[in-house]
Amino acid sequence: MFDPSATREQVNAVIQILHEEGLSSVSAVVRDTVTVITEGSGTQELASRLEKSPGVERVAVVLGAQRLTSRAFREEGTQVTVGARAETVIGGPGFAVIAGPCAVETREQMTAAVDVVVAGGAVMLRGGAFKPRSSPYSFQGLGLAGLTLLAEQRTRTGLPVVTEVVTPKDVECVAEESDMLQIGTRNMQNFELLREAGAAGKPVLLKRGMAATIEEWMLAAEYVMHAGNGDVVLCERGIRSYDRSTRFTLDLSAVAEAKRITHLPVIVDPSHSTGRPHLVAPMSLAAAAAGADGLIVDVHTDARSALCDGAQALSGEQFTTLMSRLGPVVEAVGRTLAPASAPSLASV
C-alpha cells in the first residue's frame, strides 16, 4: 500500500522488485491510494525490503484470496459516506436505517412511504426501479421512469437514495440518479456487473447471494474493491434453506463472522430474509445486538396493493414502532441510532 503522495516511478520500482523475485502483481487504486497485490509467496526479508522502499506506506501479508476486503489489509473498520451532503455514514458509531418501498410504483406511493420513513428517522431512502424477479410475469419495475421518481424524493427530502442495478449497461444511468448502487442477491456473482459498479464512483451495497458462502460473498466484494471502489457495504439478506416457514433464513452468525474477517460495514435486510412483517422487528433488534451497522427495511403505506413484495412490507405505524424499539438495543451495544438531519419535506 503506497503513501498518497507516492510517484509513479516509486510504484514501478516496487513492481520491478516483485518481478525480480518471481512474483506477479496487479495494481489497484482504492480510495485514491495505489495498492499493489502480489500473487505467490515471498519471504519476510522481501516484505521488510518493500516496506523500506520509497513511497510505500505499509506491507500487509494476507493469506488466501481475500485481499482488499480482509482485516489484514485494513485493521480498522471502514466508514462509508453516502450522499453529496456527507451526512449519512455507514460503519461509524451510528446505526444507520435505510427504508422505503421495495419497488418504485407511482409518485403518490413514493411520497407517502418516504414521508413515513423520514418521520421515523431513516437516514437513507430505498426503492427499486429495476426489479429482477423469479417470474418473467411479475412486475419488473418502472426502469428509467422509476429512477426519476426516486431522484425526486432525494431532492424533496435531502436524503441519499440507494437502488438496484441489474446489468452492466445500466450502471452509468443508475449512478447518475442515485447515491449508492445496490447489487442484489441474484447478481452477487455477476462479475462484469461488479466490475462496472466498482468503477462507477458511487458507494456499493452488496447483498449476499441466497446460496452464497461467506467466502464467496467476500470475494464478490473483492471484485468491486479491485475495480477501485473502497466504499462497499455488505448486506446479509437471508439464505436458502429447507425450512419454508420464512421466505429465507436470516443468517445472523454471518454478520458476526463478516465483522470479524472484513473491515467493510455490514447491514441486514430483515424484510427479504423473513418475508413476514411480524418477524422484521425482532430480527432487526437481533441484528443490532449481533453487531450489524444498520438495516435496510421495506415500508409501504398500502402493502395490500403493492406491486412487489407487499407481503413483507411494514406499515408506517409498524416502522415507527420499530424505530422506537431499536434505540435501547443499539445503545446497549455501544452505538447510537444515527439521526437523519431534519429535512424540509417539499411537495413534488
pLDDT one-digit tens code per residue, 74-99: 889 999 999 987 679 999 999 999 99
pLDDT, tens only, 230-251: 999 999 999 999 998 999 999 9
The more confidently predicted of residues 44 and 334 is 334
Strand bridging mode 33-39 / 24-30: antiparallel
Q: Using the predicted structure, report yes or no on whether residue 317 has a pLDDT greater than 50.
A: yes
Which pLDDT belongs to residue 10? 82
Residue 342, pLDDT score: 45
CB distance 174 to 163 below 8 Å: yes
Whether the CB-CB separation of 90 and 79 falls below 8 Å is answered with: yes
What is the average per-residue pLDDT within 280-307?
Answer: 94
Lowest mean pLDDT among 139-143, 165-169, 174-178, 181-185: 139-143
Confidence tier at 24 by pLDDT (50, 70, 90): low
CA distance 245 to 344: 41
Flag whether pLDDT at 34 surpasses 70: no
Beta-bridged to residue 295, according to DSSP, are: 97, 268
Sign of the Cα torsion 87, 92, 93, 99 reads positive
Q: In whole numbers, what is the pLDDT of the chain averaged over residues?
A: 89
Q: What is the pLDDT of residue 146?
A: 94
pLDDT of residue 102: 92
Q: What is the pLDDT of residue 46?
A: 77
Q: How confident is the model at residue 43 (pLDDT cuts 50, 70, 90)?
A: low
- Percent with pLDDT over 90 in the chain: 67
Does 101 have pLDDT greater than 60?
yes
pLDDT of 118 reads 96
Handedness of CA 285, 85, 116, 103 (dihedral sign): negative
Q: What's the pLDDT band for 39 if we cut at 50, 70, 90?
A: low
Max Cα-Cα span within the chain:
66
Domain limits of the chain? Answer: 8-51, 80-337
Nearest to 243 by CA among 272, 274, 216: 274
Which is higher by pLDDT, 12 or 43?
12
* Range in 158-172, 267-281, 293-307 with the lowest mean pLDDT: 293-307
3-state secondary structure of 260: helix
Least confidently predicted of 60-64, 101-105, 144-148: 60-64
pLDDT on residue 9: 84
Of the spans 68-72, 224-228, 326-330, which averages the highest pLDDT?
A: 326-330
In whole angstroms, what separates CA 217 from the centre of its chain?
12
Given pLDDT bands bounded at 50, 70 and 90, which one contains residue 115? very high
Using the predicted structure, report yes or no on whether residue 269 has a pLDDT greater than 60. Answer: yes
- Give the pLDDT confidence score for residue 217 in this predicted structure: 98
Which three cell numbers mark 75?
485493521
Residue 158 has pLDDT above 90, yes or no: yes
CATH of the domain spanning 80-337: 3.20.20.70
Helix (H/G/I), strand (E/B), else coil: 163: strand
Exposure of 320 by Cβ count < 10 A (0-12 exposed, 13-18 middle, 19+ buried)? middle
